[in-house]
Amino acid sequence: MKVAIAEDDFRVASIHEQFLEKLDHIKVTGKALNAKEALELLEQEETDLLLLDNYLPDRTGLSLLPEIRERWPGTDVILITASTEKEVVEPAVRYGAADYIVKPVTFERFKSAIEKVRKRKQLIDSNHELTQAVIDQMFSNQRPSETMPTLLPKGIDPLTLQKVKDMMRTLDKGINAEELGQNMGASRTTARRYLEYMISSGEAKAELEYGIVGRPERKYYLA
């Protein structure tokens, strides 16, 4: 995940960069000391996440949010500021901030915010169809594993579900519902029910592939 930092205090920016270095699969694309540099950085570098201070020398981070939303809709923003006023917090939420962290920042709170953004991106990227369960995870402040129901829905047997998971782990490529049904000794409809459940739980993803005659086929893969 490509992360940029917009913070006018170089010491604080350095701390945030050190926090990011402790996390896996993170690349810091650049640091900006003011709003102008932050916008230039977003123009020059593909950015998944911007860590944005509110009190920048030339503009507030809050005033940047609508512009960032319009120009870079794929870039998430975490506001990091000492401000706790309702007049700042509430608009930040309405303008689509992915999270809001109050200074001074602890590593655990910082890590939690980054992981929340990362997991939401993974959910979106790994699911071509966003079911209600996936959408609930996207809008939840909890980790996906914590939002999963403890009881399986009707028609999903835990032993059969585990069998399907074990079977899919042995595959080098995806599988369709008909192939899975033949392998597990069940109907295509039953196999599809288990596959679709795994998509809703974030454990699998599906892609449309076109066969020889051009007819689209839904293939399932482990996420």
Number of domains, the chain:
2
Q: Are both 93 and 15 inside the same structural domain? A: yes
pLDDT digits (tens, 9 = 90+) for 3-59: 999 999 999 999 999 999 999 999 999 999 999 999 999 999 999 999 999 999 999
pLDDT at position 143 is 44
Of 77, 105, 126, the residue that ends a domain is: 126
> How far apart are the C-alpha atoms of 166 and 128, rounded to whole Å?
23
pLDDT grade for 151, boundaries at 50, 70 and 90: low
pLDDT at position 136 is 74
> How far apart are the C-alpha atoms of 13 and 30, rounded to whole Å?
10
Q: Are both 108 and 203 inside the same structural domain? A: no
Q: Are both 63 and 140 inside the same structural domain? A: no
pLDDT at position 144 is 41
Q: Are both 54 and 112 inside the same structural domain? A: yes
Q: Are both 138 and 202 inside the same structural domain? A: yes
- The letter for the amino acid at 26 is I
In 103-217, where does DSSP find H-type helix?
107-126, 132-138, 144-147, 158-169, 177-184, 188-200
Q: Are both 57 and 143 inside the same structural domain? A: no
pLDDT at position 155 is 85
Q: Are both 75 and 137 inside the same structural domain? A: no
Q: Looking at residues 191-211, what average pLDDT do you find? A: 85
Q: Looking at residues 76-97, what average pLDDT do you find? A: 93
Q: Are both 98 and 207 inside the same structural domain? A: no
Q: Residue 184: which domain range?
A: 132-222
pLDDT at position 200 is 82
* Average confidence score pLDDT of the chain: 87
Q: Are both 89 and 171 inside the same structural domain? A: no
Q: Are both 77 and 92 inside the same structural domain? A: yes
Q: Which pTM does this prediction carry?
A: 0.62
Of 111, 126, 141, the residue that ends a domain is: 126
For 41, phi then psi, to 5°, come to -65, -40
Q: Is 170 helix (H, G, I), strand (E, B) or coil?
A: coil
Q: Are both 92 and 11 inside the same structural domain? A: yes
In the predicted model, is pLDDT for residue 146 greater than 70? no
pLDDT grade for 69, boundaries at 50, 70 and 90: very high
pLDDT at position 168 is 87
In the predicted model, is pLDDT for residue 130 greater than 80? no
Percent share of the chain, pLDDT over 90: 58
Q: The CATH number of the domain where 79 resides is what?
A: 3.40.50.2300
pLDDT at position 173 is 82
Q: Looking at residues 83-92, what average pLDDT do you find? A: 92
Of 126, 142, 166, the residue that ends a domain is: 126
Q: The CATH number of the domain where 159 resides is what?
A: 1.10.10.10
pLDDT digits (tens, 9 = 90+) for 136-145: 767 765 444 4
Least confident window among 56-70, 124-138, 173-187: 124-138
